[in-house]
Amino acid sequence: MPRPALGDRAGRLAKPALVPIIGLVLAACGAQANNNATGDDAFPSLIGADGFPHEVVTTQGAQAASLYPIIFLVAVVIFVLVEGLLLLVILRGRNKGKDGDLPTQTHGNNRLEVIWTVIPLIVVMVLFAASTMVLARVEEKSEEPAVVLDVLAFRFGWTFTYKEPGTFDEQTATYQDAGVTISSSPASPSSDQPRDPAQDVVLPVGEPVLFRLNAADVIHSFYVPSFFFKRDAIPGRTNEFEVTIEKPGRYGGQCAEFCGLNHSQMYFNIRAVEPAEYEAWLAEQAGGADAAADPAAEPAAEPAANPAGPAASAEPAPSAEAFSIDIASTASAGGAA
């Protein structure tokens, strides 16, 4: 059987290689789904332009990011070793003659079998031990965090409810409400205007912050690239994690789990400030909420404008816990019916 010409073989190899190249070109030409900035310092992905993680602003995220260079270098060494040996065998063991005789065959080598079994085993065990230790440190929680934040994800927005630290009730698994709630409403996907700073979730730097995630409808994912952390928000289940922000700034977050047609609009911003500024902001927000909820602080209605008598006081906005409980009770009633 005649051998194909060298040019024909090169052409056959080049055609499959064009598939990923064309895919990358098409992906690069695609339009951006959402023009809303997720934060002044936010980066759109975990990996920077140099191939390594961008700046991480949390203590827990920095510990996880420290594993990346180690795993990356190990992967590079293994790739070079395996591909180098593969090319060496192909080039040195190829049939150079025209008579079709096979090169000398080697059937088994106990020493090589032991080497390429033991070395990968050691590599995997070392990486497993390092990852487990880092995971244990990332999952650690303080006995009494400085800030407790209940996060309710829904299609297609977020509600952040501040809680009173140190008021955890083991029977209900809830904290007492601090009277401050921030809602991140979605903006138009085509808008180039930044989010309203009044909707920023303000947190202190240098202090542990406990996030308690829940979802009202489907699975969402709480993701802040600068935190180097992502965790799912699941209906009927509270997922907790704790971070300590090390650097003041405005950091963008988003939902990282496809949850519907307007998933791309589920953005929010976290603004990290000094503890004194955070305490002043929290007191101002709580004071404003108390004044709005106090009927005595509002002017009396004119009789002509309200002939039916004084209006009933407005009900306070439901918290994330009340929203979740209402969703669950509605689903139960529907199932019973």
pLDDT of residue 289: 59
Q: Which of 325, 326, 319, 323 is nearest to 163 (CA)?
A: 319
pLDDT of residue 25: 63
pLDDT of residue 35: 38
pLDDT of residue 243: 93
DSSP 87-106: HHHHHHHS--SSS-PPPPP-
**Residue for token digits 């051998």?**
3
pLDDT of residue 218: 93
Instruction: Assign domain 147-291 to its CATH superfamily.
Output: Cupredoxins -  blue copper proteins (2.60.40.420)
What's this model's pTM, rounded to 2 decimal places? 0.66
**Residue for token digits 């510990």?**
63
Fold of 50-95+109-140: Helix Hairpins (1.10.287)
DSSP 228-259: TEEEEE-BT--EEEEEEB-S-EEEEEEE-S--
**Strands of the chain, DSSP E:** 147-154, 157-163, 177-184, 201-204, 208-215, 220-224, 229-233, 239-244, 249-255, 267-273
Angle at 206 between CA 204 and CA 207, to 5 degrees: 70
pLDDT of residue 110: 87
* Distance of alpha carbon 179 from alpha carbon 200, whole angstroms: 16
- Give me the tens of pLDDT residue by residue for the chain, a chain 337 residues long: 455 555 555 556 556 666 677 766 655 554 443 334 444 444 445 555 555 557 789 999 888 888 888 888 999 999 999 999 899 888 877 766 666 666 677 778 888 889 889 999 999 999 999 999 999 999 988 888 999 999 999 988 899 999 988 888 888 888 888 888 888 765 444 445 555 556 789 999 999 999 999 999 999 999 998 898 899 999 999 999 999 999 999 888 889 999 888 888 888 889 999 999 999 999 988 876 555 555 554 544 444 444 344 333 333 444 444 444 444 444 444 444 3
> What angle, 0 to 180 degrees and rounded to 10, lies between the N-to-C axes of helices 110-138 and 67-93?
160
Where are the domain boundaries for CATH 2.60.40.420 in the chain?
A: 147-291
Where are the domain boundaries for CATH 1.10.287.90 in the chain?
A: 50-95+109-140
pLDDT of residue 166: 86
